[in-house]
């Protein structure tokens, strides 16, 4: 980071799970890297493209919170964390469920899908 650039890396793996988190209204996916690390991300873009079992490649930037930030001081979070920059998904006609199980079924009906 001395040169002002944020470190980033590309990691390959598989979509381990697709679900709606929070109160059943937040589209999430779990990524299991080829080296065994699992992370959870928000499904961005066409959220039906995230299908359990598909291969995926993610690009993440590693950043640090300040040591005295609330995330570190009060919540005990690790100051070093990854931010998702890009997702590439294996080509497939398979799709996940469009609607989540939560109280706001259809909440994403107005979100344009991009293929």
* Pair 35, 60: CB distance under 8 Å: no
Tokens of 103: 């109280």
* pLDDT value for 49: 94
In tens, the pLDDT along 58-92 reads 999 987 767 676 765 665 666 677 889 999 999 99
- Can you tell me the distance from the alpha carbon of 53 to that of 35, in angstroms, rounded to the nearest whole number? 16
Domain residue extents for the chain: 8-89
Q: How far apart are the first and last CA of the chain?
A: 35
pTM: 0.74
Distance CA 31, CA 65 (A): 23
Distance between CA atoms of residues 29 and 41, nearest Å: 6
CATH class of 8-89: mainly beta
Position 48 pLDDT exceeds 60: yes
Distance of CA 5 to the CA centre of its chain: 22
């Amino acid at each position: 980071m001395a040169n002002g650039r944020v470190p980033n890396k590309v990691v390959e793996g598989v979509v381990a799970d697709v679900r709606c988190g929070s109160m059943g209204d937040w589209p999430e996916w779990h990524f299991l890297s080829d080296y065994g690390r699992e992370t959870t991300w928000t499904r961005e873009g066409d959220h039906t493209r995230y299908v359990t079992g598909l291969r995926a490649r993610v690009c993440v930037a590693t950043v640090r919170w300040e040591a005295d930030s609330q995330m570190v001081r009060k919540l005990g979070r690790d100051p070093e964390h990854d931010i998702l920059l890009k997702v590439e998904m294996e080509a497939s006609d398979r799709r996940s469920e469009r609607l989540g199980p939560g109280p706001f079924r259809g909440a994403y009906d107005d979100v344009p899908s991009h293929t």
